[in-house]
């Protein structure tokens, strides 16, 4: 934020902790698109952004009538705007309700602004300190549905592997170390829900796609406190990741490092990467706790 990282808005997709109940009285935004105020403005676009802006930290989920009232629109117009934003992926329906909420795709419009946000400011020096001769990239990522989204990245190599990961890049949750370490700390029912949300394709010969095998790996990751992806997402690339948590043990994001498989054996990569990543995760988690971060509407670590 999350999700972030931008401060607070993004949630870790529809499988994250439910938003707190609200009064159902969304704040009405002032109108800024009066006809004739500026002929160079596209009024329908302004209205569309007003619809996005009515979703706030205090009012994260709204029904159609609440969106219409807060955006100063009639119900028919609000319905059309919401359906358009839904089709574009910027809002989603809350399962089992008539409510709508924002998705992490909204961040795709403003990742340059994230450079000023708390998590990235805290994380970037740590990521830089990890990248070196053995470790060629370090990242921070969050969960968005069945994908992970990179919100910070420091890279010194990997170009020869054709790896082009940047802020805003997405990857499947099941095949990435950051995704696996986040899923590992979720309740089993949510793990299954995310894994079954879309087809799991083999990205490399090492990709694990069987549900039972993934769930078993998550259990091992949860006990170990870190995850290793041995060329599961990109052939020739090994990645080790650890979770970032708040004071309540809530997963906020994950930190990872990567190195070419041909440079280090799996054992050597584990030895070189594990301690720096876990130490960085602990330091960054403590910093976030001290800052009172609650970005991304995070997930609670499963008990046990």
pLDDT digits (tens, 9 = 90+) for 151-162: 898 987 666 556
Structure-token pair, residue 297: 């509407």
Q: Answer yes or no: is pLDDT of 176 > 80.
A: yes
More confident call, 145 vs 207: 207
**Number of other CB atoms surrounding residue 128 within 10 Å:** 12
CB 40 within 8 A of CB 60: no
CATH for 20-59+62-96, among 3.30.70.1070, 1.10.10.10, 3.80.10.10, 3.50.30.40?
1.10.10.10
For domain 109-300, give the CATH superfamily: GAF domain (3.30.450.40)
> Residue 257 belongs to what H/E stretch?
strand 250-260
Integer Rg of the chain from CA: 20
Least confident range of 27-31, 143-147, 198-202 = 27-31
* Farthest CA pair distance, the chain: 68
Residue 26's pLDDT band (cuts 50, 70, 90): low
At residue 286, the pLDDT reads: 86
Domain limits, the chain: 20-59+62-96, 109-300
Phi/psi of residue 80, nearest 5 degrees: -65, -40
Tens-digit pLDDT profile for residues 231-254? 999 999 999 999 999 878 888 899
Q: Which whole-number Å values give the CA distances from 146 to 54, 111, 195, in the listed order?
A: 26, 20, 7
Q: Which whole-number Å values give the CA distances from 107 to 44, 153, 252, in the listed order?
A: 21, 16, 16
C-alpha 98/C-alpha 297 separation (Å) is 20
At residue 33, the pLDDT reads: 47
- The sign of the dihedral angle between the CA atoms of 193, 197, 202, 204 is negative
Q: Which whole-number Å values give the CA distances from 223 to 71, 264, 303, in the listed order?
A: 47, 25, 11
- What residues does 161 pair with on adjacent strands? none
Is 228 exposed, middle or buried, given 0-12, 13-18 or 19+ CB atoms closer than 10 A? buried
Closest Cα partner for 138 from 121, 157, 122, 119? Answer: 157
At residue 164, the pLDDT reads: 77
Residue 10's pLDDT band (cuts 50, 70, 90): very low
Q: What is the DSSP letter of 60?
A: -
Helices 211-224 and 188-195 sit at what angle, rounded to 10 degrees?
130
Phi/psi of residue 205, nearest 5 degrees: -65, -20
Tens-digit pLDDT profile for residues 189-234? 999 999 999 999 999 999 999 999 999 999 999 999 999 999 999 9
pTM score of the predicted model: 0.62
C-alpha 303/C-alpha 269 separation (Å) is 30
CB 146 within 8 A of CB 197: yes
| Residue found by looking up tokens 């990109």 in the block | 234
**Number of other CB atoms surrounding residue 169 within 10 Å:** 16
C-alpha 71/C-alpha 73 separation (Å) is 5
Tens-digit pLDDT profile for residues 247-279? 788 888 999 999 999 888 999 999 999 999 999
- What residues does 143 pair with on adjacent strands? 148
């Amino acid at each position: 934020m999350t999700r972030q990282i931008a401060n607070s808005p993004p949630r870790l997709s529809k499988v994250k902790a439910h938003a707190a109940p609200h009064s159902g009285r969304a704040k009405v935004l002032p109108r800024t698109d009066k006809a004739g105020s500026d002929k160079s403005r596209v009024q329908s676009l302004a209205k569309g952004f007003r619809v996005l802006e009515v979703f706030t930290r205090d009012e994260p989920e709204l029904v159609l009538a609440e969106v219409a009232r807060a955006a100063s629109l009639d119900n028919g117009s609000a319905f059309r705007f919401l359906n358009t934003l839904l089709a574009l992926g910027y809002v989603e329906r809350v399962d089992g309700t008539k409510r709508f909420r924002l998705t992490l795709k909204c961040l795709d419009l403003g990742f340059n602004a994230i450079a000023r946000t708390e998590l990235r400011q805290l994380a970037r020096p740590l990521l830089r300190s990890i990248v070196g001769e053995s470790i060629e990239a370090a990242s921070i990522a969050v969960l968005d549905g069945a994908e992970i989204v990179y919100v910070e990245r420091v890279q010194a190599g990997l170009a020869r592997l054709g790896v082009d990961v940047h802020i805003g890049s997405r990857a499947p949750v099941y095949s990435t170390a950051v995704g696996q370490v986040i899923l590992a700390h979720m309740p089993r029912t949510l793990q299954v829900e995310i894994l079954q949300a879309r087809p799991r394709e083999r990205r490399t010969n090492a990709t694990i796609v069987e549900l039972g095998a993934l769930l078993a790996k998550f259990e091992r990751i949860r006990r170990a406190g870190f995850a290793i992806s041995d060329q599961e997402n990109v052939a020739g690339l090994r990645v080790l990741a650890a979770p970032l948590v708040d004071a309540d043990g809530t997963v906020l994001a994950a930190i990872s490092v990567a190195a070419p498989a041909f440079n280090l054996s799996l054992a050597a990569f584990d030895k070189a990467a594990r301690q720096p990543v876990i130490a960085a995760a602990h330091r960054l988690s403590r910093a976030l706790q001290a800052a009172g971060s609650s970005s991304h509407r995070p997930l609670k670590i499963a008990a046990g």
